[in-house]
C-alpha cells in the first residue's frame, strides 16, 4: 500500500549500502534500468536482471558477464537471496505486485513508477574521489538534483579542501602519510578543458609545479597555502631545467607533499612527462598520470577543423617541428610524411615552417593543399590564419603569428566550410 509523503511524514533514514557480492534484483530492461545498473555494478553488487527485453547497453553488460539476465517476466522466487529490489518498469499494476512481494519478505524496494509507494529511495549522487554525496529531496527528485548539482559545483571548485597545515584526510586504502606526484594534463588553454580528475587533484595538491602553457585561471584557483613552482621561471638551460623540475618533484614528494605536476595539453604529447615519471619511479615516489586534452586535436577543433572527416581523411599524424628536416637529431621521416594524403598536425613548427613546407613539397605533397595555423587556440586570444602549403610560410611571417601555434595541413581544413 502507498505511504504518501506529507510534511508530517517521517523523513527517510539515509544509509550507505555495501552491496559487494550481494544479490540485487533489477526488474525491467529499459532506460531506467540502463541508468541504474552501472552504479550497482560499481558497488560490486551481484545484479540479477529480469526483463523480457533489454536495451543494447544492458546487452553489453550481459555479454561481458557483468550481470545475470532472465529474459522473462518477474516471478516471486526471483526475490530469493535478494537484498534489494529496483523496480524499473512502467506498468503500475505489475510494479505494485513486485513491491508487495518484496514487502512481504522485508526486502527494500525502489520503484521508478511511483516513488511514494516505494520503501526506499535512490538519492541524487555525486562522487569526488573516495567521497560520495547523496541527496534526498523529500520525494522531489528535481530538488534533490538541484542540491546535488550545487554540491558538485562546490566540490569541483574546492576539491576536498583541507585546513592549511592540517593533516590530509586519508582515503580508504591510501597511506595516511607519504607524498606522491600526479602528472596532470591541463588541456590546451581554456581552463574548462581540464579533466574532472585533474581538477580534483589540483584542488587537493600541496605543491603545484606548472608549465608556461598551463591556463592561468587554474592557478588562480589554488588555495593560498599551496606552493606554486613556475617551471618556466627556473633559470638554467633546457636540460638542466628538466633535471631541476625532476628534483623538485621528487624532493617535495619525499617530504610528504601531494604534488601535482601540471602540464599543458596531455602530459605525454611532446611534454617530457615520461622523463618525470621515470625520475619519480626511480626515487621510489608513487606517481600517476592523468591524461589531458591535447592541443594537437583540440586546437584544430576550436578553429573549426576536424582532424578526421568522413571521405576526407582517414588518418592524422602529429609531428613535432622543433627540429628542421635533415637535422642530425631529427627522428622524423619527412619524405614519408610528404607521401601521406591524410591530416598532418605540426606542433612547435613555426620557426622551421619554411624548411618543413619545402620538405613536404619536395616529397610530393600538393602545393594547393589547405593549411590552417592556429595561435593560442581555445583561449580568448585565439587567432587563425588560412593559407595553402605553398603560401603558408610567407603568410605566417607576414601576419606575425607567434607561438604557441599549431599548423594543420590537409583537406580537413576546409571540410566544414559549408557549415
Ligand atoms: N603537451 C602539449 C604539447 C606540448 S608542445 C599538448 O598535448 O598539447 C608545445 C606546443 O603545443 C606548442 O609549441 C604548440 O605547437 C602547441 N600548443 C599547445 N597549446 C596550444 C594552444 N593553445 N594553441 C596552439 N598551439 C598550442
Instruction: Please indicate, yes or no, whether residues 320 and 226 belong to a single structural domain of this protein.
Output: no
354 and 393 Cβ atoms separated by less than 8 Å: yes
2 and 116 Cβ atoms separated by less than 8 Å: yes
Instruction: Please indicate, yes or no, whether residues 289 and 318 belong to a single structural domain of this protein.
Output: no
Instruction: Please indicate, yes or no, whether residues 315 and 384 belong to a single structural domain of this protein.
Output: yes
Q: Which atom of ligand 1 is closest in space to residue 346's alpha carbon? A: 15
Instruction: Please indicate, yes or no, whether residues 275 and 165 belong to a single structural domain of this protein.
Output: yes
pLDDT one-digit tens code per residue, 144-188: 889 998 988 887 666 544 443 433 444 444 433 689 999 999 999
pLDDT one-digit tens code per residue, 88-144: 999 999 999 999 999 999 999 999 888 889 999 989 888 887 888 999 988 788 888
Instruction: Supply the pLDDT for residue 312.
Output: 97
Instruction: Please indicate, yes or no, whether residues 267 and 303 belong to a single structural domain of this protein.
Output: no
Q: Which residue has the cell 589540483?
A: 202
Instruction: Supply the pLDDT for residue 237.
Output: 76
298 lines ligand 1 (CB under 6 A): no
Burial letters 45-62, b for 16+ CB under 10 A, else e: bbbbbbbeebbeebeebb
321 lines ligand 1 (CB under 6 A): no
Instruction: Please indicate, yes or no, whether residues 165 and 46 belong to a single structural domain of this protein.
Output: no
Instruction: Please indicate, yes or no, whether residues 289 and 307 belong to a single structural domain of this protein.
Output: no
CATH number at 333 reads 3.30.950.10
Question: In the listed set 237, 258, 293, which residue is the last one of a domain according to the structure?
Answer: 293
Going by alpha carbons, the residue nearest to atom 9 of ligand 1 is 348
Distance CA 255, CA 282 (A): 16
Whole-Å CA distances, 51 to 100, 345, 378: 18, 49, 46
Please check whether residue 113 lies inside any domain of the structure. Answer: yes
Please check whether residue 135 lies inside any domain of the structure. Answer: no
* Residues with a known catalytic role: 211, 233
Distance CA 96, CA 378 (A): 53
Instruction: Please indicate, yes or no, whether residues 286 and 171 belong to a single structural domain of this protein.
Output: yes
Instruction: Please indicate, yes or no, whether residues 289 and 180 belong to a single structural domain of this protein.
Output: yes
Please check whether residue 143 lies inside any domain of the structure. Answer: no
Overall average pLDDT of the 72-94 stretch: 96
261 and 272 Cβ atoms separated by less than 8 Å: no
Please check whether residue 3 lies inside any domain of the structure. Answer: no
Range of lowest pLDDT (103-107, 192-196, 216-220): 216-220
Spatial CB neighbours of 337, under 8 Å, sequence gap ≥ 6 = 317, 319, 344, 360, 363
- Residue from 183, 188, 307, 384 whose mutation best tests the ligand 1 pocket (most atoms within 8 A of CB): 188
Instruction: Supply the pLDDT for residue 158.
Output: 62
Overall average pLDDT of the 244-256 stretch: 96
Instruction: Supply the pLDDT for residue 165.
Output: 41
Distance CA 22, CA 30 (A): 23
Indicate if the pLDDT at residue 405 is higher than 60: yes
Overall average pLDDT of the 350-359 stretch: 98
189 lines ligand 1 (CB under 6 A): yes
Going by alpha carbons, the residue nearest to atom 15 of ligand 1 is 347
Overall average pLDDT of the 252-277 stretch: 96
Question: In the listed set 67, 98, 122, which residue is the last one of a domain according to the structure?
Answer: 122
348 lines ligand 1 (CB under 6 A): yes
Instruction: Supply the pLDDT for residue 418.
Output: 82
Instruction: Find the domain containing 86 and state its range.
Output: 23-122
Instruction: Please indicate, yes or no, whether residues 196 and 302 belong to a single structural domain of this protein.
Output: no
Please check whether residue 202 lies inside any domain of the structure. Answer: yes
Instruction: Supply the pLDDT for residue 239.
Output: 75
**Residue 366 alpha carbon to ligand 1 centre in Å:** 26
Instruction: Please indicate, yes or no, whether residues 33 and 58 belong to a single structural domain of this protein.
Output: yes
Please check whether residue 371 lies inside any domain of the structure. Answer: yes
404 lines ligand 1 (CB under 6 A): yes
**Residue 29 alpha carbon to ligand 1 centre in Å:** 45
**Residue 403 alpha carbon to ligand 1 centre in Å:** 9
Going by alpha carbons, the residue nearest to atom 18 of ligand 1 is 295
Please check whether residue 56 lies inside any domain of the structure. Answer: yes
273 lines ligand 1 (CB under 6 A): no
**Residue 85 alpha carbon to ligand 1 centre in Å:** 50
CATH number at 239 reads 3.40.1010.10
Going by alpha carbons, the residue nearest to atom 5 of ligand 1 is 270
213 lines ligand 1 (CB under 6 A): yes
Q: Which atom of ligand 1 is closest in space to residue 273's alpha carbon? A: 1
Question: In the listed set 293, 324, 348, which residue is the last one of a domain according to the structure?
Answer: 293
**Strand extents, DSSP E, 227-342:** 227-230, 258-263, 287-290, 316-320
Instruction: Please indicate, yes or no, whether residues 273 and 369 belong to a single structural domain of this protein.
Output: no
Percentage of residues in the chain having pLDDT higher than 90: 74
Please check whether residue 16 lies inside any domain of the structure. Answer: no
CATH number at 86 reads 3.40.50.720
378 lines ligand 1 (CB under 6 A): yes
Number of domains in the chain: 3
Amino acid at each position: 500500500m502507498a505511504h504518501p509523503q506529507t510534511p508530517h511524514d517521517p523523513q527517510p533514514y539515509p544509509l550507505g549500502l555495501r552491496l559487494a557480492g550481494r544479490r540485487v534484483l533489477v526488474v525491467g530492461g529499459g532506460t531506467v534500468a540502463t541508468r541504474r545498473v552501472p552504479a550497482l555494478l560499481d558497488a560490486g553488487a551481484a545484479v540479477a536482471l529480469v526483463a523480457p527485453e533489454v536495451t543494447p547497453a544492458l546487452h553489453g553488460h550481459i555479454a561481458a558477464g557483468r550481470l545475470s539476465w532472465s529474459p522473462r517476466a518477474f516471478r516471486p522466487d526471483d526475490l530469493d537471496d535478494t537484498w534489494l529490489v529496483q523496480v524499473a518498469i512502467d506498468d503500475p499494476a505489475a510494479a505494485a505486485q513486485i513491491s508487495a512481494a518484496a514487502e512481504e519478505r522485508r526486502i527494500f524496494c525502489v520503484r521508478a513508477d511511483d516513488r511514494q509507494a516505494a520503501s526506499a529511495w535512490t538519492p541524487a549522487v555525486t562522487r569526488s574521489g573516495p567521497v560520495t554525496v547523496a541527496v534526498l529531496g523529500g520525494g522531489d527528485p528535481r530538488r534533490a538534483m538541484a542540491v546535488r548539482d550545487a554540491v558538485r559545483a562546490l566540490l569541483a571548485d574546492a576539491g576536498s579542501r583541507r585546513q592549511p597545515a592540517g593533516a590530509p584526510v586519508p582515503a580508504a586504502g591510501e597511506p595516511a602519510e607519504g607524498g606522491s606526484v600526479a602528472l596532470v594534463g591541463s588541456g590546451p588553454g581554456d581552463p574548462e578543458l581540464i579533466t574532472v580528475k585533474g581538477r580534483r587533484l589540483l584542488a587537493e595538491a600541496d605543491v603545484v609545479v606548472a608549465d608556461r602553457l598551463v591556463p592561468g585561471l587554474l592557478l588562480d584557483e589554488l588555495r593560498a597555502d599551496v606552493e606554486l613552482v613556475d617551471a618556466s621561471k627556473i633559470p638554467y638551460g633546457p636540460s638542466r631545467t628538466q633535471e631541476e623540475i625532476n628534483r623538485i618533484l621528487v624532493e617535495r614528494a619525499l617530504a610528504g607533499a601531494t604534488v601535482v605536476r601540471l602540464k599543458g595539453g596531455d602530459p605525454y604529447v611532446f611534454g617530457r612527462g615520461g622523463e618525470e615519471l621515470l625520475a619519480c619511479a626511480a626515487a621510489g615516489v608513487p606517481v600517476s598520470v592523468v591524461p589531458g586534452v591535447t592541443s594537437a586535436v583540440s586546437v584544430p577543433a576550436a578553429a573549426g577543423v576536424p582532424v578526421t572527416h568522413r571521405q576526407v581523411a582517414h588518418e592524422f599524424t602529429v609531428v613535432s617541428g622543433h627540429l628542421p628536416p635533415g637535422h642530425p637529431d631529427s627522428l622524423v621521416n619527412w619524405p614519408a610524411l610528404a607521401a601521406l594524403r591524410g591530416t598532418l598536425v605540426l606542433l612547435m613548427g613555426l620557426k622551421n615552417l619554411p624548411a618543413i613546407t619545402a620538405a613536404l613539397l619536395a616529397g610530393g605533397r600538393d602545393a594547393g593543399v589547405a593549411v590552417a595555423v592556429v595561435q593560442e587556440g581555445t583561449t580568448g586570444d585565439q587567432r587563425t590564419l588560412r593559407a595553402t602549403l605553398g603560401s603558408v610560410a610567407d603568410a605566417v611571417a607576414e601576419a606575425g603569428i607567434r607561438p604557441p601555434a599549431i599548423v594543420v595541413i590537409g583537406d580537413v581544413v576546409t571540410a566544414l566550410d559549408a557549415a
